[in-house]
Structure 1
Amino acid sequence: MIYFDFAATTPLDPEAAEVFVQASTEYFGNSSSLHDIGGQSQDLLENCREELANLLGINKKGLYFTSGGSEGNFLAIEALLSAPKKTGKHIIAGLAEHSSIHGVLNRLDGYNITFLPLNSSGLIDVEELERSITPETILVTVQHVNSEIGTIQPIEEIGRICLEHDIHFHSDFVQSFGKINLRNIPQLVSSFSFSGHKIYGPKGVGGVYVDPAISWKAFFPGSSHEKGFRPGTLNVPGIAAMTAAAQKINDRMGKNHDKYLELRAAFMDSLKPIKDFVHVHQAESVSQLPSIIGLRISGIEGQWMMLECNRYGFAISTGSACQIGMQSPAKVTLALGLSTQEAKEFIRISFGTSTKREDVIKLGETIVGIVNKFKL
């Protein structure tokens, strides 16, 4: 089976796995315990916090470790809403946000929420966002990179608009962490989330940055971990392994980007025999993560195409793994204004560090063969 679903999750890097085992056996103490064994775990934890803060260009005092991106999104939004810059009950969010964002917004009572669609290039219209702002707007939440089509949202512009209007800005960095240089962006947001298993770290660990100047209130009263940000004993081995994976992918970021550009071009070239049926949802290269390709093939349901590819030994997806179990269309298809039938045709191919050019071409040729058989 050849894997083309790296946007859903990645395999654990062997070096990160070694760190995980070492930390689990040698630094097993509870980082909150006051004895020396707990102190060793606490020292490792703080070293990881400092290293990740340096990689991200943030103040380590605002970095909190979580169980992953979904929990991070929930806690970040709740933290910002507990300390708004002004009085109001209006929130602006992208319609294509991850299901965890929709989950926390749907549970809020008394808030008026404006959902912004994407334009034909898969991007938020900044002018439409600015027109949507009212005196009551206290929060904007827009993901940095869409997990289903890989478009890079204009975070810098959105951040400046929010600063001008005294609005908190949360961004989901789960798909951009380790793939885009983020060091110049954090000062433009109030908070952001990230996850370890998208960068060859372990599952069940991630982080949130909240601007230390924000005096948030804990969502879970009485929580003693992470300055009260969340309850539960910290997964120090997982955090150490995630940090090792982050260091490694950060060093390879430029090389990976160039590689994915070549793989994307090779894949698109392999689909030329069926180009009249293929619709790729993407932005210009400057606003597009090359490792994620979201597309439709006219007349062929994405789930059927995914199963056929699986039969031929290729693992692709029909969108965010957090949404698939609900059997509902990828949120990006709604945000793009696709019809119900078009939404059902959506599939996603995503590359990783182990992806080979010859495998990309084989996948393209396989899809062409499946389409030709289907169309006969």
Structure 2
Amino acid sequence: MIYFDYAATTPIDPEAAEVYVQAATEFFGNSSSLHDIGGNSSALLENCREELANLVNVDKHGLFFTSGGSESNFLAIEALLSAPKKQGKHIISGVAEHSSIHGALNRLKALGYEITFLPFQSSGLIDLEKLVDAIRPDTVLITIQHVNSEIGTIQPIEKIAHICKEKNIHFHSDFVQSFGKINISTLAPQVSSFSFSGHKIYGPKGVGGVYIDPSISWQPFFPGGSHEKGLRPGTVNVPGVASMTAAAQLIFPSISETYHHYVGLRTALLEALNPIQQWVQFFEAEGAQLPSIIGLRIAGIEGQWVMLECNRLGFAISTGSACQVGMQSPSKVMKALEVSDGQAKEFIRISFGRSTSIEDVLKLGEALVGIVKEYKGTVVI
């Protein structure tokens, strides 16, 4: 089967897997233990912290390791709200944010916070004018995802960060889909916090991280925790952190080269779908698009049916974020784009990885054209 669901997860890099095994067998001590074996684990952990901080151009003292992007999003929001820049209980976010963000915000809503959710423009981008208009004197937090996981649009994080600084507001951004895929070294220092995950960059599952500006005197959400400066409870997954760091060291130097590879793959797929262009709608933002993610709908054909047909033919695609699978309602991204429920159910996502080839893409394009031709019962020109 040819895999086209890299936005959901990636296979672990062989070198990163080797690092995991080595760390798990040779650096197995609890990094908080005071004996030498624990000290060796702690030294490895701190080396990884410094390496990752250098890769993204942030202060290592603000970098913490977690179980993944979802936990990072939750902990970042709670940390920022524990040390607001001003009094207030108003938060601004996007309709299309990851489910972990919505989960955290729903909890806060029950605690008395007011949440303003911003839709997308037709381009899949947040309207900055509407964002500014939504800001109130009591707005204490804005949380906007950097790259959307379903359609790959890239939000203007630098501009949003500037607005937040002007208005004295904390700014959290979910960097899970952009980390290791585009250069974030100039953006990372400008936000109050950001999240990332290991399994999106050919690292292991169950490990990720969060950066919180060290100048923020946050308070821990979980009481009595001693790991990661009290940010979270539980023994640190040192082998996972080491493996994720190895994966990052491998992927970061080739970001530019890989990006251009994805541009070529995207162009090839769009051209391959020309015979069915009258039925296809692409969701993308010109000039602000991660090329490795293609979100589209085929008019008149439910996305789940297309996905199952592709699976039967040997292609793994998806109908959106893996965190939304099983939901009966349309995805939040489609709601953010204000697409009708019927059209939203026609959505599919195709995402590339570094091993995806032009030949793979052309085969998928041919398969999709064939599926539409058979379903429509007409000749596809």
TM category, shorter: over 0.9
Check whether the contact 1:7–1:147 (CA below 8 A) recurs between aligned residues.
yes
Counterpart position of 2:155: 153
TM-superposition CA deviations, 1:318-376 (whole Å, max 9, x none)? 00001113333221100000000011000000000110111101101100000011001
Q: Distance in 1 between matches of 2:186 and 2:36?
A: 38
Counterpart position of 1:294: 295
1:24 match: secondary structure = helix
Q: Distance in 2 between matches of 1:357 and 1:297?
A: 22
Check whether the contact 1:148–1:330 (CA below 8 A) recurs between aligned residues.
no
1:170 is aligned to 2:172? yes
Counterpart position of 2:16: 16
Check whether the contact 1:91–1:139 (CA below 8 A) recurs between aligned residues.
yes
Counterpart position of 1:49: 49
1:95 is aligned to 2:104? no
Deviation of the 1:79 alpha carbon: 0.4
Q: Distance in 2 between matches of 1:372 and 1:59?
A: 54
Select 1:197's aligned residue among 195, 199, 208: 199
2:354 match: secondary structure = coil
2:247 match: secondary structure = helix
Judge which range, 9-18 or 183-192, deviates more: 183-192
Counterpart position of 2:214: 212
Q: Distance in 1 between matches of 2:200 and 2:151?
A: 16
Deviation of the 1:288 alpha carbon: 0.3
TM-superposition CA deviations, 1:165-204 (whole Å, max 9, x none)? 0000000000000011111112221000000000000000
2:262 match: secondary structure = helix
TM-superposition CA deviations, 1:235-257 (whole Å, max 9, x none)? 00000000000011001111100
Counterpart position of 2:133: 131
Check whether the contact 1:205–1:235 (CA below 8 A) recurs between aligned residues.
yes
Counterpart position of 1:68: 68
Counterpart position of 2:307: 306
Q: Distance in 2 between matches of 1:182 and 1:258?
A: 17
Q: Distance in 2 between matches of 1:25 and 1:99?
A: 35
5+ unaligned residues in a row in structure 1: which ranges?
none
Q: Distance in 2 between matches of 1:85 and 1:190?
A: 11
Q: Distance in 2 between matches of 1:243 and 1:57?
A: 15
Q: Distance in 1 between matches of 2:129 and 2:217?
A: 30
Q: Distance in 2 between matches of 1:299 and 1:281?
A: 17
2:72 match: secondary structure = helix
Counterpart position of 1:250: 252
Counterpart position of 1:121: 123
Q: Distance in 2 between matches of 1:372 and 1:212?
A: 56
Residues matched between the structures, number? 375
Check whether the contact 1:298–1:342 (CA below 8 A) recurs between aligned residues.
yes
Runs of 4+ in 1 over 6 A off after TM superposition: none
5+ unaligned residues in a row in structure 2: which ranges?
none
Check whether the contact 1:318–1:330 (CA below 8 A) recurs between aligned residues.
no
Q: Which amino acid aligns with 1:101?
A: I
Q: Distance in 1 between matches of 2:117 and 2:252?
A: 33
Check whether the contact 1:201–1:241 (CA below 8 A) recurs between aligned residues.
yes
Q: Distance in 2 between matches of 1:178 and 1:258?
A: 14
Q: Distance in 2 between matches of 1:126 and 1:230?
A: 34
Deviation of the 1:42 alpha carbon: 0.3
Q: Which amino acid aligns with 1:193?
A: S
Q: Please give the root-mean-square deviation of Cα atoms over the aligned residues, in Å.
A: 0.6
Q: Distance in 1 between matches of 2:329 and 2:57?
A: 37
Q: Which amino acid aligns with 1:157?
A: K
Select 2:228's aligned residue among 226, 229, 233: 226
Q: Percent identity?
A: 72
Counterpart position of 1:353: 354
1:175 match: secondary structure = coil
Q: Which amino acid aligns with 2:342?
A: Q
